[in-house]
Chain A
């Protein structure tokens, strides 16, 4: 089959009134897959059709993990992974220096990264184009202070909601509280709030 090299340019009429595609990078154990699911849960509350799934079979503790989410105004049928994301969420700061993390980002896409560095510094190390936006937030510090352990996924979600304005931060908080009952829910809700408040966009 591969010997037939037809030029296949994908026609892309305006089928979706609204479609957001999101890719999340983290390491096994940091909650990248949960982040995708929480994001879906929150966006579902805003009336979006949602889909989230991990890159299958990669979930080993410490290994790089990728998760995907789609939010749309009509049912989502495709099973393709997200190769042209509108948003890239980087949960592990050490993945924020790897240009592979931002592969395929749309022309006007946005990177939200866990980092103690400025957005400019993250932009330079990732080689993000001028038309694309970069935001950074020290999600590890927030997670350790608010939750008491290194689960930087929830502050990153707060930061994403705050800078992307796709859905309100309150829906992320609601999803987090539903997902973690009791004290853990409160702690994670605080982490989301701080992520939203402390994110710096550029």
Chain B
């Protein structure tokens, strides 16, 4: 595979994986503990290359499993290190137990998830089954639409995690982002180093006075820890916005909690991840033809950007919510369930069509987006409100 390690130049052609590796190289990271898995592999390979060449000056620990990767990051973070790992699919499933430890200990750890389907049947391709299985593990969950956004969000993740004492995951779609080559305008090493700084001092295993972490909590206190953690996650949006705003001053790029195209359109397709671009390309063409369709692309899923999402519903009649994972036996897919409970909580009524699509790498073309938009536009009082869409 051709190499474009244009570390010196500012505008580079990079895959999503390479963009993430560069973000880590630039962000004063002390510890990377990771185990390679498709389609995240290139992130780990590049960081290993950077470690070998001296471009990455932190510790690179090639661990024997993802469970160990997260455990090592937890140990490192408890010792005051800025820690990063990357994984996907089965790897995320294997580290599941430790995800809760990281968030419960309120540790600022960053992770990239190269979203991929889960066994069985075996499938290496993209969907959101992996992250949705861990969505309630107490991590902040951000989503990138393209390689540049993945790069930006990984850099921001360190600042966010350290400000709110919560771990942050940046999701990028396997293959569609990890293995596609796109222009990425990297910031200079100095600019990124200045932006991320050094992690603020916190209680640490390295402190002179001995301390214990992760002790047992009985029924008299456990719920209070969890309530506190829940408040911190819900309230973290303010900090995320501040960090994004500061980063925007540096880069001119502000991704925000969600991107709206065709504000106030009758039909809005709610998307997570890279296929938002396909939906938007289609919506733009249909709008030019006089159709009232738009796209809401979520950049944050945890915390759910409640206020910003509700603000985007002005003039909207139908929400078509697109899920790339299944919650078996549930009333709808996980993203649709989130949106519906939000609407109900605030007493807001909209027609909702929950669609499950794109599982295990199943394609989503402009033609598919258009077919779905047309369905949402034309469906009358009786409509199928929850279905699998599999293309032609």
Contacts and interface: CB of A to CB of B under 8 A. Distances in A.
A52 interface: yes
Contacts of B275: 79
B183 A36 contact: no
Interface string B294-336: 0000000000000000000000000000000000000000000
Given A1-B389, A11-B286, A15-B285, A51 B2 contact: no
B382 interface: no
Contact of B288 (A4, A15, A57, A79): A15
B227 to A, nearest CB: 40
Contacts of B181: 36-37, 40, 50-53
Contacts, number: 110
B365 interface: yes
A49 B286 contact: no
B interface: dominant SS: mixed
B278 A79 contact: yes
B39 to A, nearest CB: 8
Contact of A10 (B176, B355, B367): B367
Contact of A8 (B183, B367, B384): B367
A49 B277 contact: no
A77 B280 CA distance: 8
B62 interface: no
Q: Range of interface residues on chain A?
A: 35 or more
Contacts of B3: 179
A33 interface: yes
B289 A11 contact: yes
A77 B375 CA distance: 23
A53 B179 contact: yes
A2 interface: yes
A54 interface: yes
Given A6-B374, A8-B370, A79-B274, A56 B389 contact: no
B100 interface: no
Nearest to A176: B2
A79 B176 contact: yes
Interface string A42-76: 00100001111110110000000000000000001
B2 A8 contact: no
A134 interface: no
B183 A56 contact: no
The 4 closest A-B pairs by CB, nearest first: A77-B277, A11-B289, A53-B180, A56-B175
